[in-house]
Every structure is written in C-alpha cells, then in structure tokens.
C-alpha cells in the first residue's frame, strides 16, 4: 500500500532562502500551497533541486518539518537524506520517521571512491537502524560517480525495506532490467527530459525539477502514456524538453526560483557558490514565462 501511494508526480521542491541565505519558512509554505493548487501530487525535499547538500543537518530537518506541517497528509512527502557520513544519514532517517515522512531517499556516499560493498552497507545501516521508514535508492551517477544497475542495486532491492529507485540516469536498459527482476518496486523517473522514455522502460512515477512549475503537463503526459496515445505523449514530452533546454541554459535551479518570483513567491537565489542570474538570463526566462505554464 505504501508503494502504491508513492506512484505519483513529485515536485523536486526548491528551497527558498532569505537574502542572507537563511531558510525562508514563509516562502516554503506559500510554495507548497501554490504547487498543491496547481496539481503537484507529492513532494521530494532536500534533493538536488532543494540544494540539500548545501544545507546543514538542522536545516534539512527543518525544511522537512515545515513541508510536512503545510502538507498535512494531503500528498506523500519523501525526504532526501543522503550525505557522505553514515551517522548523519541515520540521524536524518530517524528524524524523517519521527516527523512523519512517507519515505526517505539517499544518494550513495561520495568523494572517497567507496567500494560497492561499502555503499551497500551504507544503505543497509539505515535499513537496520531505522527499519520503519521505507528507503529509496537515489541513482544519479552524473553527480555521485556511482551507477546503480540490476547487479549492484539488486543487493538492495532484495531487501523488503528498500522499496524502489529514484532513477536520474539515461541508462534505460538498466532501469528496464531492474523493473523486470523486481517488478513490485517503485521506479521514479528523475530526468524530466526522458520522462516518456522512462515510462516505457518501467518507471511508474516521476520526481522532477520542472514539475515545480509544470505539474499538469507531467500528469498529462503520464495519462496519455497510460491510454496508449503515444504520439500525443511525444508532443507533450517535446514541450517539456523545450522548457528544460531553456531553463538548463541559465541554471535550472536558479531558473525555477526566478520563475516563481515572477509569480509572486520570492524564493530568493541559490546558495553560493551558485551564481546569480544576470539580466540576459532573466530575459530568456521571461520569454519562456510568456509562453504560459501549462498545456491546454
């Protein structure tokens, strides 16, 4: 039942900051309500889009608390807790459980070129110490240097407490092989620009940065796919890709925050060392905003 509940369209929620880079809790609440009103079906907190690795442990806890308090059980909330130290991940997992998150998600430990045995143990330490919180493996090799596939992820997917994979990778063969051998797990597509391809390969949910702004478009694509209206779904994917291209060209996380500011929710800028948008970049986003926020 938990896994079925999680098969929805998630916003990879950005984290609003004040001018001094402190958390803007009022803006977090406004953002959550705005996105719920516009069709977001779930929230993924403190991931890449949420600048999770630029937040302290206490800030990550507070973001989750504020989001959960504002959501009030209306949609599922997943907390990204991944970091390099196992003790910190376990601490965040315990907090997420006590705060009421539906699941936690974790990138593998990075920087030290850990062995796969060490990486698997990192996940299993959370499973063993906090067995009551479902765990989702976060596969994002472009950032971590670790690529999960059927062989290495299978050691985790065999565990009942590991309920799925957040697959932010272009390796759709690997996704299909995991889905083939572990069909009861949750597979969350992570790259917005290959959402349709991810669905074909076995994804049954999505977590996306541009979902923050375009949730109905993603739901429309998923509905068209499930109705076997593939040519129409391809057209929607092309529209998503146009938007992704424009936003990536200026820095996608900064772009999302700017586009929310233009809709009346001041999310601030991304934390340093991210650079602020210049006037030319803002003008490019203004042209994208003028195109509208959803398909008709």
Q: Which residues contact 80 (CB under 8 A, 6 or more apart)?
A: 44, 45, 46, 47, 50, 52, 104, 105, 106, 107, 138
- Give the residue-averaged pLDDT of 183-195: 97
SS3 230: helix
Query: Which pLDDT score is estimated for 296?
Result: 53
65 membership: H or E segment, kind and range: helix 57-71
**DSSP summary character for residue 67:** H
Q: Specify the residue for token string 């008709």.
A: 296
- Answer whether residue 2 shows pLDDT above 80: no
Query: Which pLDDT score is estimated for 293?
Result: 81
Residue 268 contacts residue 18 (beta carbons within 8 Å) = yes
**Model confidence pLDDT, tens digit, residues 55-111:** 999 999 999 999 999 999 999 999 999 999 999 999 999 999 999 999 999 999 999
- For the 2-290 domain, the top CATH level (class) is alpha beta
b/e sequence 125-150, b meaning 16+ C-beta within 10 Å:
ebbeebeebbbbbbbbbeebebebbb
**Model confidence pLDDT, tens digit, residues 140-152:** 999 999 999 999 9
List 44, 122, 138, 258, catalytic entry = 138
Query: Which pLDDT score is estimated for 224?
Result: 97
- Give the residue-averaged pLDDT of 100-126: 97
Q: Which residues pair with 187 in a beta bridge?
A: 165
Query: Which pLDDT score is estimated for 138?
Result: 98
Residue 49 contacts residue 14 (beta carbons within 8 Å) = yes
Query: Which pLDDT score is estimated for 295?
Result: 66
Q: Which two tokens stand for residue 120?
A: 């698997």
Q: Cα Rg for the chain, rounded, in angstroms?
A: 18
List 166, 179, 185, 257, catalytic entry = 166
Query: Which pLDDT score is estimated for 231?
Result: 97
- Answer whether residue 265 shows pLDDT above 60: yes
Of the chain, the percentage scoring pLDDT greater than 70 comes to: 99
- Give the residue-averaged pLDDT of 218-242: 97
Tell me, yes or no, if 166 is annotated catalytic.
yes
Tell me, yes or no, if 225 is annotated catalytic.
no
- Give the residue-averaged pLDDT of 243-248: 97
Of the chain, the percentage scoring pLDDT greater than 90 comes to: 97
Q: Would you place residue 155 in the very low, low, confident or very high pLDDT band (cuts 50, 70, 90)? A: very high
Q: Where are the domains of the chain?
A: 2-290
Residue 198 contacts residue 178 (beta carbons within 8 Å) = no
- Answer whether residue 166 shows pLDDT above 60: yes
How far apart (Å, rounded) are the C-alpha atoms in residues 81 and 91? 9
How far apart (Å, rounded) are the C-alpha atoms in residues 161 and 65? 23
- Answer whether residue 1 shows pLDDT above 90: no
- Give the residue-averaged pLDDT of 235-263: 97
From 163, 167, 174, 216, select the one nearest 195 (Cα to Cα). Answer: 167
SS3 77: strand
């Amino acid at each position: 039942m938990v896994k079925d509940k999680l098969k929805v369209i998630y916003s990879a929620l950005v984290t609003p900051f004040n001018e001094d880079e402190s958390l803007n809790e009022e803006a977090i609440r406004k953002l959550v309500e705005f996105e719920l009103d516009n069709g977001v079906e779930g929230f993924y907190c403190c991931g890449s889009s949420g600048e999770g690795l630029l937040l302290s442990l206490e800030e990550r806890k507070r973001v989750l608390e504020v989001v959960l308090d504002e959501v009030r059980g209306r949609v599922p909330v997943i907390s990204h807790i991944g970091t390099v130290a196992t003790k910190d991940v376990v601490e965040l997992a315990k907090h997420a459980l006590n705060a009421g998150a539906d699941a936690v998600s974790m990138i593998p430990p990075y920087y030290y070129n850990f062995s796969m045995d060490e990486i698997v143990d990192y996940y299993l330490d959370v499973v063993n110490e906090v067995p009551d919180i479902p765990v989702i493996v976060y596969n994002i090799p472009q950032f971590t240097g670790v690529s999960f596939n059927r062989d290495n992820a299978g050691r985790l997917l065999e565990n009942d407490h590991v309920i799925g994979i957040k697959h932010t990778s272009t390796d759709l063969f690997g996704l299909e092989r995991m889905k083939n051998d572990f069909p009861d797990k949750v597979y969350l597509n992570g790259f917005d620009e290959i959402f349709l391809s991810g669905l074909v390969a076995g994804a049954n949910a999505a977590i996306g940065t541009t979902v923050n702004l375009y949730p109905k478009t993603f739901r429309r694509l998923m509905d068209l796919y499930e109705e076997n209206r593939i040519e129409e779904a391809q057209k929607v994917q092309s529209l998503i890709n146009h938007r992704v291209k424009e936003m990536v060209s200026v820095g996608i996380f900064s772009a999302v925050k700017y586009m929310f500011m233009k809709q009346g929710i001041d999310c601030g800028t991304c934390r340093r060392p991210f650079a602020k948008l210049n006037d030319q970049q803002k003008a490019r986003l203004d042209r994208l905003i003028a195109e509208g926020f959803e398909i008709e």
